[in-house]
């Protein structure tokens, strides 16, 4: 009996152990499947971790694949200068553009957004101006952005300064309405966002040798560079504009751009064969040569030396704000450390990248000391948060990659059934854009001019700072400075005032002699006397003169008055403002 009980006890213990091992499974086959699932899950997790590390982890250099520390350093310094130019130009315009008494007050716009989509207002318009949209807040955004961009140029805490610049610039773009609908703004926000993951961590990272850039962040910046060119080329062909197909797109391009330059005036005088060659070169670069990005490094270096002079020529002959400076800077990411170290003298490189001191071996045991508790705690926190940071970087960058790739795919294959929700979700942040520069060329130059009068008979023009106006004044070179008011008037001149209400709002502010709006102009023709009783907007057509006329008359332009562009406004005896002389049609095209 005792022997039988002992056998039962051993059998019970064995069964309990078996059930414990199989975790309560009904049979050993189920236990085997559970063990196999755990193995597969572990293998899958290991594979995903390896892919994530390869995409967003530090890029390791090899003999055949040099590192990209120097191109990153150059690009981030250039990006800081571009951010500075953007904020610097806003500093003198922002209150007149979107201040409380400006042309398109940001506060009124945000109030309308809140009334229309209150629950989604912060996502639809991601801006700090929700807290306050007065002039002090607007100027603070500009000053903070300027300081952060300068610190980025000085390589102080690059990631932190990039975040500050991005938030400040996005705050303006999200509330600027008509004054921020430019492709250049989207280019800067996209590059700035991706650079948050591209830049090295730390307060003074120097070249960041301990933290090479990730493959995915570098590729996305190169991808933006590629898309700016290629999508612009596709847009030119898809638009059906015969000027590109007949090689006449550049014949009057230098004259009819938003803000011409005096160098563009001289280039305009060259014969047709030169402009036809410029069309062929533009299409060849945008549609063919940019594919060299995906070829071995030698081809990428050759591509850099083709597109760089191309961008410089655009900068000299047209004022496209910071757009071409940004594309030029992105082009440096075609290069690698081996090439840059070959052309840059070692002494110059040492000013930026101090080589590490030679390792003298481990210190004596008596001098060895444990790291300070604070440093140990920080290292432990970084170690714990590393997977979360990597996951966040992977999600953000892959999201941008999908959104930009889907938009390119839709350009090439309309109606392609791809999910649209991820693309729409990023639209308010302008970090995944579709580009298409000069898809349709304009063949007439129209200039809107504001005029004021005290008696309704004698009219005085308000002088512009940057737009063509005085026919004897040569066009200047202002880029990367962006005069958004002058720039936007060029777009407005191509359409009707009904599509550009800011022109009428400008008339109203001039009638009230608003100082912030008057600061957008080169002067006030009514300064020191009674304000105007009426203000109107007329439209002129402008043409470049030729060499013969310029030598004889010393004028750069000739112009012809076409008539009223928008309704004239008049101040009534009771102080109210009334609309008079309503134009019936926009100016005829050339």
Please give the Cα distance from 9 to 3 (Å, whole number): 10
Q: Per-residue pLDDT tens for 76-89?
A: 999 999 999 999 99
61 or 419, greater pLDDT = 419
**What separation in angstroms does the CA of 76 have from each of 166, 192, 194, 198, 211?**
13, 9, 11, 9, 15
- Reported as a single tens digit per residue, the pLDDT across 192-247 is 999 999 999 999 999 999 899 999 999 999 999 999 999 999 999 999 999 999 99
476 within 8 A of 276, measured Cβ to Cβ: no
Q: How far apart are CA 341 and CA 348, in angstroms?
A: 10
Residue 536, Cβ density class (10 Å: 0-12 exposed, 13-18 middle, ≥19 buried): buried
**What was the pLDDT predicted at 549?**
96
**Listed range (19-33, 331-345, 364-378) with the worst mean pLDDT:** 19-33
Residue 31 has a pLDDT of: 52
Question: Half-sphere exposure of 206 toward its Cβ, with a 13 Å CA cutoff?
Answer: 10
CA 21 – CA 18 distance, rounded (Å): 5
- pLDDT for res 374: 64
For residue range 474-530, list pLDDT tens digits in order. 999 999 999 999 999 999 999 999 999 999 999 999 999 999 999 999 999 999 889
Query: Residue 369 pLDDT > 70, yes or no?
Result: no
How large is the angle between the packed helices 158-173 and 183-198, nearest 10 degrees? 160
Confidence of residue 61 (pLDDT cuts 50, 70, 90): confident
Report the pLDDT averaged over residues 289-310: 97
Instruction: Give the per-residue pLDDT at 390.
Output: 87
pLDDT value of residue 545: 97
- The dihedral built from the CA positions of residue 83, 86, 89 and 93, taken in this order, carries a sign that is negative
pLDDT in tens, 407-438: 999 999 998 999 999 999 999 999 999 999 99
In terms of Cα–Cα distance, which of 488, 449, 481, 465 is closest to 179? Answer: 488
* Rounded alpha-carbon distances, angstroms, from residue 262 to 252, 352, 505: 14, 37, 32
Kindly report the average pLDDT of the chain as a whole number: 88
Q: What whole-number distance in Å separates Cα of residue 283 and Cα of residue 247?
A: 10
Q: At a CB cut-off of 8 Å and minimum separation 6, what does 429 contact?
A: 126, 170, 189, 193
SS3 321: coil
Q: Out of 182-191, 205-214, 370-379, pick the least confident.
A: 370-379
pLDDT at 21 over 70: no
| pLDDT category of residue 24 using cuts at 50, 70 and 90 | very low
What does the pLDDT look like over 324-359, one tens digit per residue? 999 999 999 999 999 999 999 888 888 888 655 554
Helix (H), strand (E) at residue 548: helix 547-553
Give residue-wise pLDDT tens across range 560-585: 999 999 999 999 888 889 998 777 65
Residue 126 pLDDT > 90:
yes
Cα–Cα dist 69/212, whole Å: 7
Classify residue 63 as exposed, middle or buried by CB count within 10 Å of its CB (0-12, 13-18, 19+). exposed
**Closest C-alpha among 56, 87, 39, 72 to residue 209:** 72
Domain ranges of the chain: 69-352, 445-580
Cα distances (Å, whole numbers) of residue 430 to 128, 433, 457: 16, 6, 47
The DSSP symbol for 365 reads: T
Is 124:173 a contact under the CB 8 Å cutoff?
A: no
Please give the order of strands across the beta sheet that includes 577-580.
460-461, 445-453, 534-544, 557-571, 577-580
Tell me if residue 537 falls in helix, strand or coil.
Answer: strand
Provide the percentage of residues in the chain whose pLDDT is more than 70: 86
Residue 56 pLDDT exceeds 90: no
Structure tokens at 459: 């009219």
Q: What is the mean predicted confidence (pLDDT) over 130-157? A: 97
Distinct helix (H) and strand (E) counts, the chain? 24, 5
pLDDT at 367 over 90: no
Question: If pLDDT is split at 50, 70 and 90, which confidence band does 49 have?
Answer: low
Tokens of 560: 């012809």
* Mean per-residue pLDDT, 28-44: 56
Q: Given this model, what pLDDT does residue 352 score?
A: 85
Give the total residue count for the chain: 590
Identify the CA nearest to 130 among candidates 89, 95, 174.
Answer: 174
Distance CA 86, CA 536 (A): 31
Predicted local distance difference test score (pLDDT) of residue 402: 97
């Amino acid at each position: 009996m005792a022997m039988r009980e002992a056998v039962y006890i051993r059998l019970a213990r064995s069964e309990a152990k078996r059930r414990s091992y199989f975790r309560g499974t009904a049979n050993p086959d189920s236990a085997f499947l559970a063990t196999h699932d755990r193995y597969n899950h572990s293998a899958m997790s290991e594979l995903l971790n390896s892919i994530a590390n390869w995409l967003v982890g530090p890029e390791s250099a090899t003999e055949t694949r040099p590192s990209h520390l120097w191109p990153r350093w150059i690009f981030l310094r250039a990006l800081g200068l571009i951010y500075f130019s953007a904020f610097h130009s806003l500093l003198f315009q922002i209150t007149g553009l979107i201040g409380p008494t400006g042309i398109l007050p940001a506060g009124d716009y945000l109030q309308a957004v809140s009334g229309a989509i209150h629950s989604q207002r912060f996502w639809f318009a991601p801006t700090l101006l929700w807290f306050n949209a007065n002039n002090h807040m607007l100027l603070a955004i500009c000053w903070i952005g300027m300081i952060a961009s300068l610190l980025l140029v000085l390589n102080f805490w690059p990631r932190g300064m990039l975040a500050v610049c991005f938030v400040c610039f996005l705050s303006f773009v999200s509330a600027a309405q008509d004054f921020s609908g430019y492709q250049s703004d989207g280019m800067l926000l996209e590059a700035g966002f991706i650079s948050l993951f591209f830049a090295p961590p730390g307060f003074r990272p120097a070249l960041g040798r301990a933290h090479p850039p990730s493959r995915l962040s570098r590729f996305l910046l190169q991808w933006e560079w590629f898309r700016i060119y290629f999508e612009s080329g596709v847009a030119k062909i898809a638009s059906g504009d015969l000027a590109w197909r007949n090689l006449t797109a550049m014949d009057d391009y230098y004259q009819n751009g938003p803000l011409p330059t005096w160098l563009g005036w001289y280039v305009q005088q060259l014969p047709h064969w030169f402009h036809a060659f410029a069309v062929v070169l533009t299409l060849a670069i945008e549609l063919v040569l940019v594919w060299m990005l995906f070829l071995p490094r030698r081809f990428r270096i050759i591509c850099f030396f083709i597109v760089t002079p191309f961008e410089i020529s655009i900068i000299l002959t047209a004022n496209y704000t910071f757009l071409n400076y940004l594309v030029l800077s992105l082009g440096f990411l075609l290069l690698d450390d081996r090439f840059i170290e070959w052309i840059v003298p070692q002494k110059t490189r040492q000013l930026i990248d101090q080589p590490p001191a030679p390792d003298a071996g481990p210190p004596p045991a008596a001098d060895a000391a444990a790291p300070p508790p604070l440093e140990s705690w920080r290292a432990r926190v970084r170690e714990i948060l590393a997977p979360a940071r990597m996951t966040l970087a992977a999600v953000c960058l892959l999201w941008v990659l999908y959104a930009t790739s889907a938009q390119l795919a839709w350009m090439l294959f309309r109606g392609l059934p791809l999910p649209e929700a991820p693309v729409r979700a990023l639209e308010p942040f302008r970090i995944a854009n579709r580009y298409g520069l000069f898809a349709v060329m304009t063949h007439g130059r129209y200039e809107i001019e504001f005029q004021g009068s005290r008696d309704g008979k004698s009219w005085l023009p308000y002088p512009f700072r940057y737009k063509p106006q005085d026919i004897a004044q040569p066009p200047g070179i202002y880029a990367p400075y962006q005069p958004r008011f002058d720039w936007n008037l060029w777009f407005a001149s191509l359409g009707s005032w009904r599509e550009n209400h800011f022109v009428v709002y400008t008339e109203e502010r001039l009638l009230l002699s608003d100082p912030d709006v008057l600061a957008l102009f080169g002067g006030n023709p009514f300064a020191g006397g009674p304000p105007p009783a009426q203000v109107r907007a007329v439209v002129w057509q402008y043409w470049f003169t030729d060499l013969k006329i310029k030598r004889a008359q010393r004028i750069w332009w000739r112009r012809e008055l076409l008539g009223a562009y928008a309704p004239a406004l008049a101040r009534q005896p009771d102080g109210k403002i009334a609309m008079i002389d309503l134009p019936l049609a926009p100016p005829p095209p050339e």
